[in-house]
Structure 1
Amino acid sequence: MMDSDGVSWLRGPILGKGAFGSVFLATSRNPKSRFFPPTMAVKSAEFSASASLQKEKEILNNLLGCPHVVQCFGDETTFGRNGEMVYNVLLEYASGGTLADSIKKSNVVGLPEHEVRLYTRCILEGLCHVHDCDYVHCDLKPDNVLLVPNKSGAGFVAKIGDFGLAKRGRQSKKHKFLSDYLRGTTMYLAPETVIDHVQELPSDVWSLGCVVLEMLTGQKPWNSLNQKLNSKQVLNLISDDKSLPEIPSGVSREARDFLKGCLVRKPWMRLTTEMLLYHPFVEGLDDQAFEVAEDEISEESSSSYEADSEFSSDCCYSSFRSEEEADYTVEDDDGLFQASSSPKMHRPSVIAIPADA
């Protein structure tokens, strides 16, 4: 059992569990420590099955320095009650849960557009850093975006988490097509990923567009016609060169234009993350603007998270893969679809994302 404490931290209640490990709440033995915050999330796996978790730790080390990527505070090997070795990674604790939690609470209405703009700017800042460090996230979705209190404590900022499926970018053509598997989640896969098995920087931009669309509508990107599609139907739509996620007429002109810059079927025609940072939809939202705008939503957000703290405990690990899902990577709410003549699916390489109880 993974019940051991670390040298500088104490393991608390479990926050999520899957086929490859568990995530626990953790507290620092020294609340005034310069190296650890008082509360953390510890992601743990038996050492013999921790290769993917060690890979994620390495990636997070390479991504240090960005305020919109989840922070990693180190790793440690401990021993369980039965003497088994356990590998642990200490991560930032997101008391706001995930973006998916926030969208779900909107009851299929979507988030206010000023809130969407704030979170989109945060995600873009994080994604720019990820791409500058030569990584492709490969699984950007609301479940993998964490909401962390800002410095003023008045609201939340968004941070990208769960890098278990991330890969190096800018691979040569020789290596681009070696994999017979897809990384990611069906609803957010880019057309070139489904059709050609290519996942590079523009693929993350497509996924970002899907996330923004979901924030605005409260619905999955391909479910906007009031019908819930299964994985096979979604993959067929993504493969159809005439299909695009529907952008509702009720959003602002700036939001619509931003989405059109992301949701372009040809990857070379999509705007880059750097270009999107200067788009009117998010431009000018610096840290000071974050605090001012978040004051408008903090009262509603804070009361919502307090009232639904039990709900968040159960749901903020919704991207956590169960034992039934352990043989695949491509997934959505309707289950898993393994293609025969279409792309096959990849075994997951991440156990969970840190979030709050």
Structure 2
Amino acid sequence: MALAAGGLLTVPTLKGFILTDKLGSGTYATVYKGFRKVAHREVVAVKCVLKKSLSKSSTENLLTEIEILKKVKHDHIVNLIDFQWDGHYIYLIMDYCSGGDLSKFLATKRALPERVVRRFLQQLASALQFLHYQNISHMDLKPQNLLLSNSYDPVLKVADFGFAQYVEIEINSESLRGSPLYMAPEIIINATYDAKVDLWSVGVILFECLFGKAPFASKTFSELADKIKSNEPIKIPSSIRISDQCHDLMFRLLQRDPKQRISFEEFFDHKFVDLEHMPSPQCIERAKKIVTEAAQKDIEGDYKSAASLYCQALEYFLPAIHYEKNRTKKEALRSKVREYMQRAEELKQSFKPSAAHPPSTPEAPSTTFILDGLANGYPELKAALHTTCQAETFDEQERYEEAFSKYEEALGQLLPILQSEPKSHRRELLQSEVLRFMSRAEEIKNYLEMNRLPSRQDSLNQSVMVTNDSENATWCVIQ
């Protein structure tokens, strides 16, 4: 390393580049912002590794890092553009991420909204899935190694593969890999581990993003080790409300016993991660295909299928809007999606049940009223008719969930009575009522099924704005 007058360390010099601001430093490397000496002045990040600081193991780690970065090309993994060396340094020239790292972002925000965390988690999961299929484990996942492409619309990218390994089977090693706060318990306790250590780290990162601190935050390594070795289950705070899906994933990631921890396949398929619907170039094509089928069902009059397909298409249209970077195209797509949403809601409301059966009056007694009079001395029929009255009351009040439940209960009571009832006027009346209740219950069931279809109007209109105070900028994530 060159020394300036007075013995002060100077910035390394790399042929063809100008190195400026220091972005970060580690045990044996320092990362600088750099500019390529060409007309368009390409901005890069340059990791400068001092050769004389490398031990045998760190040299092996560096070679593995270069090999892996040369091999992997993914939207959510930092890109190695080139690597060079001279008498003093080895230089890794990589994409520059102006948004800094996730740890600095968290330091200014303390905690992030769940929908923002979910978007980052999808991007991290996408990168891990790509690595997993190539038997590569990162081994040092932490917010400091998750870079953000910019401050206004950040894309998360996994960086620093200095501890990465090809892992196909369980490893026995006395050396610790990773950072203690994010390190899986089996590494510290057993020195035996496999690729699932990365899933533990994801759980810690997820916890920290949501609650503002890691689950085992400690002042000393000794205190941290005691917490990790403890058998007490990890407590997920109730101070901040999170969805059941998010809670379930975090609980399954943060299992001390790796055998109890969620598997990679389960993680990638988990509903909270939902890789199927993350923003990507494929979303718009999938959405168009489904909405075309929905429109055809709409024309054919199969409104139930049409409503379902419109809603399925929206699950792809919304991430497609997020993926689109051109503002004009984004707004045009958003406008079109609003039309599909409106049509889906219209179809769903078309299944709303017609007016409930008119109440019984002395001048026009209902069949149920007449049956009630014929049920004297028949307590089972009396009880069943009482249940139908409850169902119809809920029905009139448009409390359809409760009405459907009571109709089901009433039919469960009435059908055995009808089967055992001999031929009579009462049997004819009872059969007529059972058929009416069945028809009404089916009508309500269809409406309830329609209303359970996802409605994403709020997601389309809502933007989650997070002000980046350090950069005086904002960025938006559209759920």
Partner of 1:342: none
3-state DSSP class of the match of 1:14? strand
Q: By how many angstroms is 1:220 displaced? A: 1.6
Task: Summarize the Cα distance change of 1:46–1:234 in structure 2 as closer, same or farther, 3 Å threshold.
Answer: closer
Deviation readout 1:100-147 (Å, 9 max, x if unpaired): 11211123xx10111000001111111112222212211111111111
From 269, 275, 296, the equivalent of 2:266 is: 275
**Who is 1:100 aligned against?**
103
Deviation digits for residues 170-227 of structure 1 (CA, Å, limit 9, x no counterpart): 246xxx32x222111112122222221123111110110110010000112224xxxx
Q: Is the 8 A contact 1:75 1:87 kept in 2?
A: yes
TM-superposed deviation, 1:96: 0.9
Distance in 1, Cα, partners of 2:95 & 2:205: 22
Q: Which residue of 2 aligns with 1:89?
A: 92
Q: Distance in 1 between matches of 2:256 and 2:47?
A: 36
Alignment-derived partner of residue 466 in structure 2: 300
**Aligned pair 1:238/2:228, yes or no?**
yes
Structure 1: state its 5+ residue gaps: 79-83, 309-357
Whole-Å separation in 2 of the counterparts to 1:124 and 1:102: 19
What's the RMSD between the two structures over aligned residues? Answer: 2.6
- Which consecutive unaligned segments of at least 5 residues does structure 2 have? 3-9, 284-318, 325-458, 474-479
Counterparts of 1:197 and 1:257 in 2: how far apart (Å)? 28
Secondary structure at the counterpart of residue 156 of structure 1: coil
TM-score of the superposed pair, with normalisation by structure 2: 0.54
Change (3 A) 1:116 1:94: same
Tell me the residue number matched to 1:67: 75
- Greater radius of gyration (CA): 2
Whether 1:264 aligns to 2:255 is yes
Mapping of 1:45-194 within 5 angstroms? 45-49=49-53, 51=59, 52-62=61-71, 64-78=72-86, 84-107=87-110, 110-149=111-150, 155-171=153-169, 176-177=171-172, 179-194=173-188
- Asked whether the equivalents of residues 120 and 282 of structure 1 are also in contact (C-alpha less than 8 Å), the reply is yes
For 2:466 and 2:195, locate their aligned partners in 1 and report how far apart those are by CA, in whole Å.
Answer: 35
**1:43 is the counterpart of 2:47:** yes
Give the stretch that moved more between structures: 211-220 or 6-15.
Answer: 6-15
- Give, in whole Å, the separation in 2 of the partners of 1:265 and 1:21: 32
How far off its partner does 1:3 sit?
Answer: 4.2
Query: Relative to total residues, which structure has the larger helix share, 1 or 2?
Result: 2
Sort the Cα spacing of 1:133 and 1:31 in 2 relative to 1 into closer, same or farther, 3 A: farther
Q: Could you tell me which amino acid in structure 2 is paired with residue 238 of structure 1?
A: I
Cα distance in 2 between the residues matched to 1:251 and 1:60: 35
Taking the aligned partners of 2:228 and 2:168, their CA distance within structure 1 comes to 23
> What's the secondary structure of 1:206's corresponding residue?
helix
User: What letter is aligned with 1:57?
Assistant: I
After superposing the two structures, state which structure 1 stretch, 92-101 or 191-200, moved more: 191-200
Give, in whole Å, the separation in 2 of the partners of 1:279 and 1:56: 29
Which of residues 281, 286, 290 is equivalent to 2:279?
286
Number of aligned residues: 282
- How far apart are residue 90 of structure 1 and its match? 0.4
Contact 1:205–1:262 (CA under 8 A) maintained in structure 2? yes
Pairing 1:247–2:242 present:
no
The percentage of counterpart residues that share the same residue type is 26
Return the alpha-carbon distance in structure 2 between the equivalents of residues 273 and 246 of structure 1.
Answer: 23
Higher RCO by CA contacts (8 Å cutoff, separation 6 or greater): 1
